[in-house]
Structure 1
Amino acid sequence: MEDYLTIGEISKLTAVPISTLRYYDSEGIFSPALKDEKNNYRYYTGFQIPVLKIIVHLKKLGFTNDSIKSHLNNLNYSHTLELITKIIEETKAEIKRLQRIEKELIQNSEQIKYLIEIDEKIDAFFIEEIDEIKAVYTEISLDIDSKKIIQAAFKKLDSSLNSNNSSEVSKKIDAPLSNTILPIGIYALIIPKENIDNGSFKEEKIILMQDVKNIEKKITIPKNRFACLYCKNKFKNRREYIDKLLEWVKENGFEIIGDAIIHFLAGPGFVKDPKELLYAVKIPIK
């Protein structure tokens, strides 16, 4: 046995853990030159060390167990080149995937920073100029139980989106529907100006603030100055905050010139109390 190395000795010489050597043996990648059937001890030869180092290097390059075995079974330059070429292509694809993830993470971090900024402005009135918004919508049915109207409208819009969510459609829509940003801040309710004027404050549309080409019902919210109020509470109490904003608009001598928006910013998954929502009431003014 003088010419053999124990599993512990070859582990020290190559810095490959004993557990890994046993795993390679079980997978048929790298087996000992001799195995004592009585005590199950593994013994290796010095000539196996270069092979083990090659295996370690191939593992580092991303070779799978099967591709390593294929290399060792063939030991043919052309065959090994084919294996490497395949891994190069797989690596390029993985780099692109990681770049997409990096881009999404950056976008998501900006969203969270925005929510942090909003948290510091809860219950504060302010004026904001908002660029034109192109959106798709569904009507809110008034024949449904008032407590379920919003929920039903969300379900209806989501069903419409899902029915159009083919790979072809996915190419034609922006970030939220292609899952590149967190699903926050992309939905809103529309209260027509006439419903503000008559005091009913009924929401008539729910919108997704993206231009989905295969959905026919579209709406454009023109660029305007908006009186805004960020709210964080139970959504059923929204009327109270709409009243507060309308009073502030009146006190400051502004004129309402269009439909009001209730913009959903964060809810379950981002707000601790599942019964609360973070949203903004926005009213166009001049």
Structure 2
Amino acid sequence: MLSIGEFSKICEVSTKTLRYYDEIGLINPDEINPENGYRYYSIRQLKKMLFINRLKSYHFSLEEIKAVLEWEEDLSEEMLSAALHRKRREIEEKLNAFEYTIQQMSNDILNLEKGTPIMSYLDMIEVQLVETQPMNILYMRQMMSSDDYAQGYGKYFSKLYKKIATEKLTLFGTPMTIYHSPEYNPAGNDTEFAIPIEETVKGTRDLPGGLCAKSVLKGLYSELTSVYAKLREWVEDEGYELVNSPYEVYVTNPNQATVPENVVTEVYFPVKKK
């Protein structure tokens, strides 16, 4: 048996952390002396602790590690491989985002060194006045909190695509999101997920066409706020006013884009002359 200090030293995990892992049921001492409360770990637990450390180094959360350990008895190479594949995709997405951020920062630094204002990129965002056609959309409308959005898009679009496949409906366009809330509220925003289809069935509605201020973003969704700001400025400067909820059309699937610049999103502001 190893004392908690010896176990801590071999695995390079503090005794405080080991006590916390015991509290949350991640790894418990093999034995606790009832008289003095001293904790002891078995030699076989070294392998388990090193496995936990390895998953932590791969940026698994403690909750994720605990879940993996809970299926330890049934843990097959396929299950563990699938978990590692998922985590690797997450890390790759973060790396792409960091690379994109570094590129933006480098551009900003270069512009500043040339005497160009850091926010001058807003002037590069183009706005067009377009006439859109009416669409028949299959939709789901939900109140979405800021925490819901990360998983919400995939979740609700998947449900819509499943209905399209099950009922053999005809796609007429790419997914879109319509934002109905008059203001941003972290607790909940009225959000409509939609896909244009040909058939009129239960769960569809007409999205009217009309005059729209349109802009296109090529890059991460985090940049959409800049596009919205530019569109709102353009609407005001050109003497128009909003007549309906703005919406986004996802021209490309972000999961299939190899670099952020390949993600194309169209933003539409339905407008009319004041």
**Which has the higher Rg, Structure 1 or Structure 2?**
1
TM range, smaller chain: 0.3 to 0.5
TM-score, normalised to structure 1, is: 0.45
Under a length normalisation based on structure 2, what TM-score does the superposition of the two structures give? 0.47
